[in-house]
Chain A
């Protein structure tokens, strides 16, 4: 158990659906992250929040919308996704501001039909 919990573990959605991914960390960390992991590709950073403020938006399409209501919770709202968005979405947290190790959740395996 890493202290970072993601729900749901699996999600299948149509291209017109709206869904949300949830992440919660129990480590008292100040920074939270969304990464995308596709087969045969390196992890791609999507968003970073530090003290509930977004500090990084890595050229992610607007059909992905993050939300960080407090330092323990992070959401990724999904809307009109494409089949190529199918991937494992990983949430992570870290103590503070960069240059330090991340603690990852188990991810949400997303399939877009």
Chain B
């Protein structure tokens, strides 16, 4: 079955608020995690990644948090903008090889 999943399939956020997108994974051997953003008509776009030797990593307006104890990954988007409306996927790599395992995605809609 699917080893990576997201808690909610949809998320509606007011423009300017912070967004939190959650992801649960089941394979404790996973040591690499990625977040992707996919806009309509486009392929997935890399946002940020994190390895298991870290619990937090920050990018531009985004932060990824990794809690290995409860096997939970989250993506925080600060000051959400209309351009952040998209489907967000988390992915893990349990074997350290080519096989990234993707979740089903959370659709984020930003309200003006």
Q: Do A and B come from one complex?
A: yes
Interface residues in chain A, defined as those with a beta carbon under 8 Å from any beta carbon in chain B: 2, 4, 6, 31, 33, 40-43, 45, 48, 50, 55-56, 58, 90, 92, 97-107
Query: What A residues does B32 contact at CB under 8 A?
Result: 99-100
Chain B 24-55: CB-based contact to A (< 8 A → 1; otherwise 0) = 00000001101010000111111001000000
Per the bound structure, the CA–CA distance linking A103 and B49 in Å amounts to: 13
Given contacts A31-B98, A42-B2, A98-B98, contact A106 B104 (CB under 8 A): no
Given contacts A42-B2, A42-B4, contact A101 B46 (CB under 8 A): yes
A45 lies within 8 A of B4 (CB): no
Given contacts A106-B42, A106-B43, A107-B43, contact A101 B97 (CB under 8 A): no
Query: What A residues does B101 contact at CB under 8 A?
Result: 42
Query: What B residues does A48 contact at CB under 8 A?
Result: 98
Determine how close the nearest CB of chain B comes to the CB of A5; give it in whole angstroms. Answer: 11
Given contacts A43-B89, A99-B93, contact A90 B99 (CB under 8 A): no
Query: What A residues does B93 contact at CB under 8 A?
Result: 98-99
B interface residues, tally (CB under 8 Å) = 26
Given contacts A41-B104, A101-B49, contact A55 B98 (CB under 8 A): yes
- Which listed residue, A6, A41, A56, A104, touches B99 by the CB 8 Å rule? A56
B96 lies within 8 A of A104 (CB): no
A-B contact sample (18 more), CB < 8 A, given A42-B2, A90-B44, A106-B42: A31-B98, A33-B98, A42-B4, A42-B89, A42-B101, A42-B104, A43-B44, A43-B89, A43-B91, A43-B102, A50-B98, A55-B98, A58-B99, A98-B97, A98-B98, A104-B36, A106-B41, A106-B43
Interface residues in chain B, defined as those with a beta carbon under 8 Å from any beta carbon in chain A: 2, 4, 31-32, 34, 36, 41-46, 49, 89, 91, 93, 96-105
Show 24 A/B contacts (Cβ-Cβ < 8 Å), sorted by A.
Answer: A2-B43, A6-B43, A31-B98, A40-B104, A42-B89, A42-B102, A43-B102, A45-B98, A48-B98, A55-B98, A58-B99, A98-B93, A98-B97, A99-B31, A99-B32, A99-B97, A102-B44, A102-B46, A102-B100, A103-B46, A104-B36, A104-B45, A106-B42, A106-B43
